[in-house]
Amino acid sequence: MTSSGAIVLKTLYPTLYARTKSQEALSAEAEAIHLALSMAKRFSWQAVSIECDSALAVKALSGDINSCPWSLLNIRVCCDELSNCFKDLDLAWIDRRSNFAAHNLAKWARLSLVFGDIPPSSIPSDFIKDGAEWSPG
């Protein structure tokens, strides 16, 4: 089972959310993008920037819909509908080394069997840092 996680930031007040349900990594990445868009809509944000370390997920959800894998088509349609809620939306690929905070959140949530809105105070302080993969211990 693969996990998806999103770290949603607005100024200094982070909202952390994680869930585990996907059987494959690409679906988990696409679900994390959908999750971030859903949360941004919930918070009524108008400008949204999403960074993802899966180039395939970014291409599937923002490129030509005809090149979207069939397994992601429903998520793609939902993301397209959500994208109409924002004045400015940027979905970009970033290197995994620049995205360890989100990766570590998903890993911690999967291992801890935690999902949903997560108070930042409940998360180990040593894993929300970019540049290093978190290991339990």
Q: What is the mean pLDDT of the chain?
A: 78
Q: What pLDDT, on the 0 to 100 scale, is given for residue 5?
A: 52
pLDDT digits 0-9 by tens, 48-69: 888 888 899 999 999 999 999 9
Domain definitions of the chain by residue range = 2-122
List, as one string, the DSSP characters of 7-69.
EE-STT--EEEEEEEESSHHHHHHHHHHHHHHHHHHTT-SEEEEEES-HHHHHHHHS-GGGS-
Tell me what the mean pLDDT of segment 113-132 comes to. 68
pLDDT of residue 72: 95
Which of 7-11, 25-29, 110-114, 119-123 tops mean pLDDT?
25-29
What kind of fold does domain 2-122 have according to CATH?
Nucleotidyltransferase; domain 5 (3.30.420)
pLDDT of residue 52: 84
pLDDT greater than 60 at residue 15: no
